[in-house]
Structure 1
Amino acid sequence: MSKIGKPKVERYDAPSGGWGSARSVTEIVLRERVPLKSGALLTRQNKHGGFACVSCAWAKPGKPHPLEFCENGAKATAWEVTSKRCGPEFFAGHSLTELRGWRDYDLEEVGRLTHPLRYDAASDRYRPVSWAEAFADIGAELKALDPDSVIFYASGRAALETSYLYQLYARLYGTNNLPDSSNMCHESTSVALPKSIGVTVGTVTLNDFDQADCLLFFGQNPGSNSPRMLHDLQEARKRGAPIITFNPLRERGLETFVNPQSPVEMLTDHPTQISTQYHQLKPGGDIAALAGMCKALLTADDLALEQGQPAVLDHAFIAEHCHGFAEFCEWLQRQEWPQLERQSGLTRSALEAAAAVYGRRQKVIGIYGMGLTQHRHGVETIQMLTNLLLMRGNIGKPGAGICPVRGHSNVQGQRTVGITEKPELAPLEQLGERFGFTPPQDKGRNTVEACEGILDGSVKAFIGLGGNFLRAIPETSLMEPAWRTLRLSVQIATKLNRNHLVPADKAYLLPCLGRTEIDRQNGVEQAHSTEDSTGCIHGWRGVAEPPEGDLLSESAIVAGLAKATLPDNPKVTWDAWVADYALIRDEIALSFPEIFHDFNARMWEVGGFHRPLPAAKREWKTETGKANLIVPRSLDADPDMPASGRDVLTLMTLRSNDQFNTTIYGYHDRFRGVKGTRAVLLMNRNDIERLGLAEGDKVQVSTVADDGVRREVGPLRVTPYNIPEGACGGYYPECNALIPLWHHAEGSKVPAAKAIPVRLNKLIVANDGGFPVEPEGYGAQY
């Protein structure tokens, strides 16, 4: 295994971006042994005619910067085009039992998978297998199973073309079991916004960012999760737009930024202040904070009208476009400030200050991430942010709207082309008529329901189109042993990860091309497409030569599995589609004509083309025909697991600056000053003292839940950090073992990973330099 240096924690005072970002990019390019000629790939990243970043889904501008990639985007590209290889010879020398003792980082550092593999239980190793044999055996297994017992999971990285084929394969097979990574993050958005404003996605584009005169940030960390957004935030600040941030932790990317692409800024090291107000509310305090801002606006409006001053609220917009305003106002008037302060963790004066700035601005964007979605009442929290925007007419006009920041690069796009467990969101009638079959009508299983099915034995097989499912989900300690009871596990991947090391009765590991790479079918280079966070669809081409070995494209793998599983259908031309992806796009256009008409031509428009967003034009596709202000049931975002007791803290899971989703690029969370380890628990100094702990102490963390399941993670190092009292933070995915499967958002079933009541147990650990050796097993033994 690789060496990661002696662990240490120290204060980091430098801005985001800057020389720290430049050094980090250089380090990973060298570490991954990226060939010199491949280093030029970064100049083609997120550029017209180049390739889309395989990391986050932030918008790709029509007029890109000279280098249109960020630190984590460069890491993702280096990670994919690495010259390191993970072939049959590696597995001949390592059993899965041995590899389960490796760190997640070291597993992926072995390199790119090069050959299809089948698990051999007798030797506890993966053995090479031909594609023909793999497809035939997988197809035979699937033919023998009830379609409802099979899960077709998608991670969010596959292009629109592959995603369309994948959902068609599942439905021809007979199931809507199409969960995806959105179920673990922004499904709350897809449930909340249709009821409020009649769309499933955000309403803003990059053009709106250029015009906005104020930005509201809730529970999103652009410095680590979408660093290219920092350019848009910096430009907003330079033209005087305030940025008001609500987040429990002080995140460097929301404080200061030095643009690595600006020679002047790099030479002077003069940062731009990003947030003009920074409110550290408690985890789950967003509903109360938003209610406080709304209440302050309502009071200010009443006072302005009494004094004959211009109104604070947009009464004309509300009268013409909104439903439920009177009921919402009545609810606001019943809310008392002491309760709002207690639930939010903020003072009345702080909330009134935020409302005052918001009330003076005309074009405001509300931006949010999983800090809103991953709560028991995550759906209602998003609806409260929508209420705040609607009160001043900030949806459906230039420079204003709501902006959920999606995670994985095409997670929004794969939903657009039919990867969903909800039959009402898929064009089943069109698919049935076009391909001559009767699509399944029953609701499929989402991610939580797929886990429940694996635990109770009703799920027999799992096909994973990318991802590291077992590592990304909650309830780790129960799910790993249950996974071994599956009849079949098929994983389509570029690199080895933890999920691949937990075999089913039959397990296959199928290597695919990466998005950065040239995809040749019968000698012809293919193009593909993705949709970004702003509903913009772009065409792309890989530019790197694929690794040597026996790899197939994701589309070819899906087609190969489908042909081996399904009866012949002359209307379903798998071979022709794989030979020419333009034919797949023609089918997408027929299935979704409103969005994808003239797809093959429009995908090459500079800057891409946007899907229709009715709410952006003040067309409300809701039951009332208007935008709805929805009253929340409670100010408490997580009422099912209250953090009661002086010794109980609320844990929120976090991502490092050196990771993307479950992919660990390194052990240096630069912005938080943590280096060489991920086994830390970030705590407020007052809580450390109050609980009789000291910096550097080792603790075992356990979930406070009376359901008979033991959930533990540790040992973790107690680490002081600027986090609200009563809260603590630990890294995802390692802390997923602490999340009960049933602790999820109502309506969306997104795991409530941002509010987990925990207790700490101080451990006596031999002196090892202040840190545990990682990973010390897996799951509950992390």
Structure 2
Amino acid sequence: MAGSKDNAGGTATPHEYRHSTGGWGSLQGIARIALKERASPGVIETLSRQNKPGGYMCTSCAWAKPPNPHAFEFCENGAKATLWDLTTDRCTPELFASHTVSELRQWGDYELEMQGRLTQPLRYDANTDRYLPVGWDTAFAAIGQKLRELDPKSVTFYASGKAALEPSYLYALFARMYGHNNLPDSSNMCHETTSVGLKKVTGSPVGTCTFEDLSKCDAIFYFGQNPGTNSPRILHPLKDAVERGCKIIVFNPLKEKGLIEFTDPQNPIQMTVGTPTKMNHMYLQVRPGGDIAAIMGLCKRVLERERAAQETGARPVLDHAFIEQHTHGIDEFLAKLNTIGWDALEAESGLTRPDMEEAGDVYCNAERVIGIYGMGVTQHVHGGQTIGLLVNLLLLRGNIGREGAGCNPIRGHSNVQGQRTVGITEKAELAPNDKYRELFGFEPPMEDGHTTVEFVKALLTGENKGFIGLGGNLAMAIPEHEQAHAAWADMELTVHVATKLNTTHLMPGKSGWILPCLVRAEEDMQAGGPQAVSMEDSFSHIYGSQGRRTPASELLKSELAIVAGIAQATLDPDPKAPWQEWTADYSLVRDLIARTWPDQFHDMNVRMWQAGGFYRGNPARERIWKTDSGKAEFTTPTVLNAAGVGRAENRFHLVTLRSNDQFNTTIYGHSDRLRGLSGSRMIVLVSPAEMERLSLREGQVVTLVGDAGDDVVREVGGLTVTPYDLPAGTLAGYFPELNPLMPLWYHEEMSKTPAAKSIPVRIRT
């Protein structure tokens, strides 16, 4: 690590990691968590099968599982997730006998999850303020009785993004048979902007690339995603691309090490006597939300090059035939582009004109270009406009719908995209309602349900009476902590399907339950024998996964068995919904998925085991545009910065981050190695220039105060000033600790995804 303060008042040195991503540091990070978790003996066999054909599919990110895997097809954080799941530590009823819920609530999520795997169902007892052990039949009966008493529209079924396709399909079916579309999932918190914004312009709610495109592209334009921490296995194909001549242009406020240099842990030469691979051709530290202006600058350069080609009779830069045949709306976009001057683009992006022109030249000179983005794009008030602009850039040269080109969002949780595919959506129009009528003979609800933001609003008004959480730690992930946490326990029913204890479980409703489930690596033995599950990656490929480890407790049930058990206890008996038969044999559920979406999932039970999974298809990849115009849409931005609140004197835009020892709200440890940080998570990253301007010292403790312009006081104190390389007007700190600074209303305009990458704040000393 690096970073220091000059007690005499000199400029602080920003913290940084002085080694490459991957390499020995990655192996040491895995070993550290392995020692801490004391994982079960079979973990080595599990890791050897991880993300391989016929093996176990990682519960961490949704990156591809290639048909020809490496010897070790897992990354540092994927290994941490498996070790975390297969810990030998156990969270038994004795913990709750020794501590009240109120006491445990003070521990924090890291300490709670360190207690280990939950071992049996638990019921909250308000008289003693403790969770007590209970039998499964009793739990199902009581939960079913309470659900029957409640208005279905007052109950929310949340899904964290880990649950496989089979339980997710049944969860969505259960919700609609019960009578609501209140089915938000973790996509609402991260990539719903993709689902809405990308669908608007290409007709498809998911990316258009496949894994193979990465081996054929000439340039990659990479926006707002940190692969070293959030999806490290992408570094292998990126490294391969760079080494064959592909140029990667990065746009991100922070210089993330994964896009600077990488040492392949599976390459003995590079690990010993070799040198790291330099990953980027240009690294442009854009302001938070400044991607819109940056992409407008790229487009402006493309048009300059096109005009120059016309004047000299050179080959056109634009793909005129593609634009004419496949796009709509370019004239309005070009008219807007011509009215925007370079000064405005520089001011809003934080980049210089020469840098934007150079990046634009790379785009013009590349035959095949992929646009990659993450939550640094989606978690802004105008994030959908950024996606529209990125698609505009790709459309100018026909870079969607052909090999080696396309739009490629990087998704988070391992099956968050798949859950949406099989029906977990709050939008009634996206549910397979006709198939529900045909296959199950009931009339599904046609009223839209809650997004996560709308769930919290209903919680605050007292309208939401019940909550079922299929995994996750939602109370910590949402904005508006103070108000939401105070209202959480007022619900009539809270049910949590979980593997480990977390803070959300410690806000039990009047009837509160924790139902412990298997992890994906464990053997799932049902009446029909050992069962397998399936999931979908970011490239729309479907894979089977088979667990082999002995379950942490003989009292655990699978997620599917728990969903089916609650459904059976809640709904009237129906021969068209044989919950017990589906629990005994998951292949029957896959048959239902195939019958519901026959074009995409035919022969699913066989095809999910083929190497590399099976591709469910994407019309936009075939240049079939399911938009209102029947063509890909050029969009015209209304703003040049995606942040919802503009710049002002001493106002900063806060970017919330995940550390290298973290996946979403799960904290594996307190090392953020790839940023040169460790120890407390209660820090705020500030550029040395801003520290000097505001007379801040490294190590000084400050408070961040919300500056969104409403009358609500939001603040987080006890934050240690830490120097870091950031653009002017930018701060950074950890999620979820800084979530209380984010207003509930401060979300992406179309998708309602919380705008966690540009929260307006001030520093109070």
State the TM-score, normalized to the length of structure 1: 0.95
Please tell me whether the aligned partners of residues 211 and 363 of structure 1 are also in contact (alpha carbons under 8 angstroms). yes
Q: Quote the residue 2:108 is aligned against.
A: 103
Determine whether 1:93 maps to 2:98.
yes
Distance in 1 (alpha carbons) for counterparts of 2:297 and 2:492: 52
Which of residues 733, 738, 741 in structure 1 aligns to 2:736?
733
Distance in 2 (alpha carbons) for counterparts of 1:268 and 1:495: 42
CA positional deviation for 1:177: 0.5
1:212 match: secondary structure:
coil
CA positional deviation for 1:642: 2.2
AA at the equivalent of 1:739: M
Determine whether 1:688 maps to 2:697.
no
Which of residues 747, 750, 755 in structure 2 aligns to 1:752?
755
Please tell me whether the aligned partners of residues 50 and 543 of structure 1 are also in contact (alpha carbons under 8 angstroms). no
Distance in 1 (alpha carbons) for counterparts of 2:96 and 2:230: 33
Q: What does 1:291-306 align with in structure 2 at a 5 Å threshold?
A: 291-306=296-311
Distance in 1 (alpha carbons) for counterparts of 2:457 and 2:427: 17
Determine whether 1:215 maps to 2:220.
yes
Q: Quote the residue 1:283 is aligned against.
A: 288
Q: Quote the residue 1:700 is aligned against.
A: 703
Q: Quote the residue 1:667 is aligned against.
A: 670
1:228 match: secondary structure:
helix
Determine whether 1:644 maps to 2:641.
no
Q: Quote the residue 2:3 is aligned against.
A: none
Q: Quote the residue 1:718 is aligned against.
A: 721
Which of residues 130, 134, 137 in structure 1 aligns to 2:139?
134
2:762 match: secondary structure:
strand
Question: Residues 706 and 11 (structure 1 numbering): CA distance in 2 closer, same or farther, change over 3 Å?
Answer: closer
Which of residues 46, 66, 74 in structure 2 aligns to 1:69?
74
Q: Quote the residue 1:534 is aligned against.
A: 539
Please tell me whether the aligned partners of residues 652 and 753 of structure 1 are also in contact (alpha carbons under 8 angstroms). yes
Q: What does 1:222-241 align with in structure 2 at a 5 Å threshold?
A: 222-241=227-246
CA positional deviation for 1:743: 0.1
2:698 match: secondary structure:
coil
Q: Quote the residue 1:770 is aligned against.
A: none
Please tell me whether the aligned partners of residues 243 and 275 of structure 1 are also in contact (alpha carbons under 8 angstroms). yes
Question: Residues 580 and 351 (structure 1 numbering): CA distance in 2 closer, same or farther, change over 3 Å?
Answer: same
AA at the equivalent of 2:199: P
Q: Quote the residue 2:608 is aligned against.
A: 603
Determine whether 1:171 maps to 2:181.
no
CA positional deviation for 1:434: 1.1
The worse-fitting range, judged by mean Cα deviation, of 9-18 and 53-62 is 9-18
2:42 match: secondary structure:
helix
* Aligned structure 1 segments of 4 or more residues deviating by more than 4 angstroms: none
Please tell me whether the aligned partners of residues 155 and 464 of structure 2 are also in contact (alpha carbons under 8 angstroms). yes
Deviations 1:153-200 (A, max 9, x none): 000000000000000000000000000000111111111112211101
Question: Residues 10 and 401 (structure 1 numbering): CA distance in 2 closer, same or farther, change over 3 Å?
Answer: closer
Please tell me whether the aligned partners of residues 373 and 750 of structure 1 are also in contact (alpha carbons under 8 angstroms). yes
CA positional deviation for 1:39: 2.2
The worse-fitting range, judged by mean Cα deviation, of 93-102 and 453-462 is 93-102
CA positional deviation for 1:103: 2.6
AA at the equivalent of 1:371: G
Distance in 2 (alpha carbons) for counterparts of 1:129 and 1:280: 54
Distance in 2 (alpha carbons) for counterparts of 1:480 and 1:222: 32
Please tell me whether the aligned partners of residues 518 and 541 of structure 1 are also in contact (alpha carbons under 8 angstroms). yes
Q: What does 1:465-480 align with in structure 2 at a 5 Å threshold?
A: 465-480=470-485
CA positional deviation for 1:407: 0.4
AA at the equivalent of 2:59: V
Q: Quote the residue 2:350 is aligned against.
A: 345
Distance in 2 (alpha carbons) for counterparts of 1:291 and 1:271: 33
Q: Quote the residue 2:565 is aligned against.
A: 560
Q: Quote the residue 1:151 is aligned against.
A: 156
Which of residues 258, 272, 277 in structure 1 aligns to 2:277?
272
Distance in 2 (alpha carbons) for counterparts of 1:15 and 1:57: 23
Question: Residues 10 and 304 (structure 1 numbering): CA distance in 2 closer, same or farther, change over 3 Å?
Answer: closer
Deviations 1:116-140 (A, max 9, x none): 0011111111100111111111111
Deviations 1:692-723 (A, max 9, x none): 21111000111013433221112111001011
Deviations 1:472-519 (A, max 9, x none): 111111110010111110000000011011121111000000011110
Please tell me whether the aligned partners of residues 250 and 284 of structure 2 are also in contact (alpha carbons under 8 angstroms). yes
Please tell me whether the aligned partners of residues 680 and 719 of structure 1 are also in contact (alpha carbons under 8 angstroms). yes
CA positional deviation for 1:35: 2.9
The worse-fitting range, judged by mean Cα deviation, of 514-523 and 108-117 is 514-523
Which of residues 69, 79, 84 in structure 2 aligns to 1:79?
84
1:734 match: secondary structure:
coil
2:738 match: secondary structure:
helix
CA positional deviation for 1:653: 0.4
CA positional deviation for 1:58: 0.7
Please tell me whether the aligned partners of residues 9 and 675 of structure 1 are also in contact (alpha carbons under 8 angstroms). no
Deviations 1:21-52 (A, max 9, x none): 00011111111001333222110100111111
Q: Quote the residue 1:416 is aligned against.
A: 421
Please tell me whether the aligned partners of residues 64 and 211 of structure 2 are also in contact (alpha carbons under 8 angstroms). yes
Q: What does 1:330-479 align with in structure 2 at a 5 Å threshold?
A: 330-479=335-484
Which of residues 311, 317, 326 in structure 2 aligns to 1:321?
326
Deviations 1:194-215 (A, max 9, x none): 2211101000011101111111
What RMSD in Å do the two structures reach over aligned CA positions? Answer: 1.1
Distance in 2 (alpha carbons) for counterparts of 1:53 and 1:562: 28
Q: What does 1:498-509 align with in structure 2 at a 5 Å threshold?
A: 498-509=503-514
Distance in 2 (alpha carbons) for counterparts of 1:571 and 1:99: 43
AA at the equivalent of 2:20: P
Segments of 5+ residues of structure 1 without an aligned counterpart are 1-7, 763-782
Determine whether 1:624 maps to 2:636.
no
Deviations 1:59-111 (A, max 9, x none): 11011000000000000000000000001111111111111221311110100
Distance in 2 (alpha carbons) for counterparts of 1:9 and 1:331: 39
Please tell me whether the aligned partners of residues 140 and 564 of structure 1 are also in contact (alpha carbons under 8 angstroms). yes
Distance in 2 (alpha carbons) for counterparts of 1:498 and 1:678: 17
Please tell me whether the aligned partners of residues 426 and 450 of structure 2 are also in contact (alpha carbons under 8 angstroms). yes
Which of residues 32, 40, 43 in structure 1 aligns to 2:45?
40
Segments of 5+ residues of structure 2 without an aligned counterpart are 1-12
State the TM-score, normalized to the length of structure 2: 0.97
Deviations 1:722-770 (A, max 9, x none): 11111000100111111000000011000001111111112xxxxxxxx
Please tell me whether the aligned partners of residues 9 and 673 of structure 1 are also in contact (alpha carbons under 8 angstroms). no
CA positional deviation for 1:458: 0.6
CA positional deviation for 1:9: 9.4
Q: Quote the residue 1:4 is aligned against.
A: none
Deviations 1:550-593 (A, max 9, x none): 11000000000001100111110101000000000001111111
CA positional deviation for 1:643: 3.2
Please tell me whether the aligned partners of residues 15 and 724 of structure 2 are also in contact (alpha carbons under 8 angstroms). no
Distance in 2 (alpha carbons) for counterparts of 1:472 and 1:598: 37
CA positional deviation for 1:269: 5.1
Distance in 2 (alpha carbons) for counterparts of 1:669 and 1:411: 25
2:95 match: secondary structure:
helix
Distance in 1 (alpha carbons) for counterparts of 2:282 and 2:223: 12
1:715 match: secondary structure:
strand
Question: Residues 172 and 652 (structure 1 numbering): CA distance in 2 closer, same or farther, change over 3 Å?
Answer: same
Q: For this pair of structures, how many residues does the alignment match?
A: 753
The worse-fitting range, judged by mean Cα deviation, of 689-698 and 740-749 is 689-698
Q: Quote the residue 2:486 is aligned against.
A: 481
AA at the equivalent of 2:610: E
Which of residues 111, 118, 124 in structure 2 aligns to 1:113?
118
Matched-pair identity in %: 55
AA at the equivalent of 1:601: V
